[in-house]
Amino acid sequence: MTDSKTLKQALEPTADAAWVLHDDGCDPLRENDRATRFAISNGFLGVRASQVINRSPQSVASPNTYVAGLFDTPDADRAVPELVCVPNGLQVRIGLPEGQLVQHFGPGPSHPLTLDMRRGLLLSECRLVDGSDVSVRLRLLSLVSQDHRSLGLQLLDLEVERGETEMTLEAAFEGVDRDLVAERLENELGVWRTRHSGKRLGLAVGLSLRIDGQEAAPVVLAPFKWSWTWRSRPGQIVYLERILAVARSDAPDQDPGAEVRDDLKAVSQSGWRSLLARHEAAWANRWSFSGVEVEGDAAAQKALRFAIYHLTGAANPDDPRVSIGARALTGADYRGHVFWDTEIFLLPFYIMTWPEAARSLLMYRFHTLGGARAKAADRGWRGAFYAWESADSGIETTPEQAVGPDRQITDILTGTQEQHISADVAYAVWQYWQATGDDDFLVEAGAEILLETARFWASRAQPEADGLRHIRGVIGPDEYHETIDDNAFTNVMARWNIRRALDVAALLGERWPERWADLSIRLDLHDAELKSWSDVAETMATGRVPATGLFEQFAGYFDLEDVDLSAYAGRTVPMDVVLGRERTQRSQVIKQADVVALLALLPDEFAGETGTANFRYYEPRCGHGSSLSTAMHGLVAARLGATGMALDYFRRTAAIDLADTKVAIGGGIHIAAQGGLWMMTIFGFAGLALRSDGITLTPHLPASWNSLSFSLQWRGRRLAVRIDQANLKLDVRLDSGLPMTVAVYGEPHGLRVDQGLVTDIRRSDQGD
């Protein structure tokens, strides 16, 4: 096989349209949106899909590249750390003696982008012209390796269509002196340091250019800037290959320069074909664990692929010192900070399909326990109070002020008041352990998180004259209402957190008495304190009204103004902008799922029909001012059997990034919405629930979905589930692992590798 043939094959996208996202890209004003949507990422490196060929200096799309965990505080006045931009290593310029060739933006497709989600890479094209004399067509492949996360690859195929002239190709890095301080700058290797945070970045690059199959030597114009000049002729093929190696170092004795040099040397020996093949194999492997297939709804299928593509690109199982920011590694919004989004909206996907990544994400919370303990102690509480916004150290990084949606400068209270984060982390720890049975994790790290967060709640919830414990002065998931008392979500999650901590204390004492002795001595945790936690849990105020089973979202919520949201249908701005901040605070309008989120996470807290009653009460009062909201509503609607409504929420969630309905995609993928889409599908439509002795499935598929198939992992086993609505059959296969129990509509069935389960299902009632 000749070089060019293989390159041509590499540049061909997967033929099945359901695996690719394509954009013709005629509108330069939309560049920033697609730079996010088509971003490539591997949990360590994230590269926005901005134009890299003859990018005009006026281009609005920031060509940012991010490295997970590379935080810095930009200057002494702005003490909030943010993910810095590293030099973007993909830039290419094609020039003629009289100047640069220009991009042709005219009618018809121009600079199309194709995200090949199956192979985890980006393909792009463009045509550059100079009047009628010269025209070149460029095709480009870019990837960051899923197999070896420090590596990136760019392949460029340039075909001269017209023109016999002197042509120059310049390959450079953009932003070499932007956010970082260069310590060492050689032609093909650089080491930079952050200004304040003591981290370093290493970058090495290997390039080669072939003209009609012949290797050509570059002129080095400056470090990280090369050029080649040759005589063009129609039909000529020029091909550029660029391999990047990137390393982050957090410690002074770790030289990222040596690391990238070694990485580059190793990959240069095996070549780009091997890099590409291993990357594709790594993606194929991931899809075999996480693929979801929908028959009968092509848009839903595409949306789920898009979600899983970005979720897969967001995590790195090999780095337990980083977590996933609210925009993953695809944009600057929220500065790379980690929120409850990770534990509540992302972890379920990783727990069920990629437990190694889930474990790493939870180890990040273990490593940041110090910051959480300090935050609790600072405020006079005990245990672990996690940062609402967390960067690399676990210290609270929520900015103190910001410009609100009404363009006014507002104080941000979430960093001190949005306290449910501690219970959210504990929730994810428990879910992980339930689903994986990873006792080593529980004993080494998970138990300590559960105990320290429980200790926080026990000190936080104070007894009052009514004999109940109250948690005053918080913000729940609904951030429209601040400094509220007894937020049902917070209190019930806190109670649940304490109860699970008591369970884990008993479990450790019973199964690993020596480890328990060590841990309880280290945490100075005695029986009397455990007993007091139990009292806190039993007397926690929850706001549940016995007569109706409704949870009052917080004390006094039912007395607030009841605004009919249906009167504002068709609005294009959030409800707090429509009503103004103060009226919103005096009203029952909710920013996002709050009691509904509680119902999604802890359905057992809602006896009998009270789940439906709470959903019916709160759903019409929610303005969905956060991208996290619709997924939770869809999940609950599906579980309650309102599949028509659930499908509507599914579409709204999918549209957040695919149609930019929040008008915010330029700042990065709403990764929690993507995780929510997966949750809604698996926990909602398939009705998956985890039990201590197995899993249960209670399918409620939308009428248009003929079938839904997906893979799962549960306690070391691999399962394949197919819900065939067309034939009213459920098929569960155990691909590996010991026999287990699967309950369908509550009825248990045994499942073994040699004996799958095929059972009848009911047709979903499409009511909403």
Which tokens sit at 152? 């990136």
Determine, following the binding rule CB under 6 A, whether residue 340 of this chain makes contact with ligand BGC.
Answer: yes
Report DSSP state, residue 752.
B
540: its two tokens: 């926690």
Determine, following the binding rule CB under 6 A, whether residue 498 of this chain makes contact with ligand BGC: no
Which residue from 191, 205, 492, 672 is in contact with ligand BGC, where contact means CB under 6 A? 672
DSSP-based three-state secondary structure for 623 = coil
Cα separation of 667 and 766, whole Å? 36
Q: Where are the beta strands (DSSP E) in 19-73?
A: 20-23, 40-41, 45-47, 65-72
Could you tell me which of 448, 470, 457, 370 has the C-alpha nearest to residue 421?
457
Choice between 626 and 674, CB closer to ligand BGC? 626
Q: Where does this chain touch ligand BGC (CB under 6 A) — which range of 5-13, 133-141, 154-162, 337-345?
A: 337-345
Identify whether the C-beta of residue 111 lies closer than 8 Å to the C-beta of residue 124: yes
Please count the residues of this chain forming the interface with ligand BGC, following the rule CB under 6 A.
Answer: 12
User: According to CB under 6 A, which residues from 706 to 765 bind ligand BGC?
Assistant: none
Kindly state whether residue 387 participates in binding ligand BGC, applying the rule CB under 6 A: no
The SS3 assignment for 585 reads: helix
Binding mask 32-51 for ligand BGC (x = CB under 6 A): --------------------
Q: What are phi and psi of 459, to 5 degrees?
A: -80, -25
**C-beta of 326: minimal distance to ligand BGC in Å?**
4
Alpha-carbon torsion angle 291, 294, 297, 303, nearest 10: -20
Could you give the angle at the alpha carbon of 398 between the alpha carbons of 395 and 399, nearest 5°?
125
Instruction: Determine contact, residues 134/101, Cβ cutoff 8 Å.
Output: yes
Nearer to ligand BGC, 36 or 713 (CB): 36
Select the span of 40-48, 245-253, 332-340, 550-558 touching ligand BGC (CB under 6 A).
332-340
Is 479 among the residues known to form the active site? yes
Q: Which is nearer to ligand BGC, 292 or 590 (CB)?
A: 590
- Tokens 């017209």 — which residue? 162
**Which of 674, 725 has the CB closer to ligand BGC?**
674
| Of residues 299 and 664, the one with the C-beta less far from ligand BGC | 664
Looking only at residues 588 through 607 of this chain, which bind ligand BGC when binding is defined by CB under 6 A?
Answer: 591-592
Q: H-type helices in 437-487, by residue range?
A: 439-441, 447-460
Would you say 279 or 591 has its CB closer to ligand BGC? 591
Catalytic residue among 170, 259, 396, 479: 479
Q: Residue 396 Cβ, how far from ligand BGC at the closest point, in Å?
A: 14
| Binding characters for ligand BGC, 602-631, by CB under 6 A (x = yes) | ------------------------x-x---
The Cα 300–Cα 634 span in angstroms is 14
Tell me how far, at minimum, the Cβ of 137 lies from ligand BGC, in Å: 40
**Rounded Cα–Cα distance for residues 192 and 255 (Å):** 11
Site string for ligand BGC, 460-489 (x = CB under 6 A): -----------------x-x----------
Contacts of residues 598-606 at CB distance under 8 Å and 24 or more positions apart, as own/partner, are 598/488, 598/489, 598/492, 598/493, 598/551, 599/636, 600/632, 600/635, 600/636, 600/639, 600/683, 601/344, 601/427, 601/493, 602/492, 602/493, 602/496, 603/639, 603/689, 605/492, 605/496, 606/549
The single residue listed with the structure tokens 């004492």 is: 509
Q: Is 326 in the site for ligand BGC (CB under 6 A)?
A: yes
Q: Which of 186, 266, 282 is nearest to 226 (CA)?
A: 186
Only one of the segments 19-27, 118-126, 339-347, 643-651 lies at the binding site for ligand BGC (rule: CB under 6 A); that segment is 339-347
- Nearest approach in angstroms of CB 628 to ligand BGC is 5
Asked if 134 is part of the footprint of ligand BGC (rule: CB under 6 A), the reply reads no
The binding track of 240-259 with respect to ligand BGC, each residue x by CB under 6 A or -, is --------------------
Q: Could you tell me which stretch among 138-146, 274-282, 333-341, 546-554 binds ligand BGC (CB under 6 A)? A: 333-341
Interaction site with ligand BGC (CB under 6 A): 326, 334, 339-341, 477, 479, 591-592, 626, 628, 672
Q: Which residues are catalytic?
A: 479
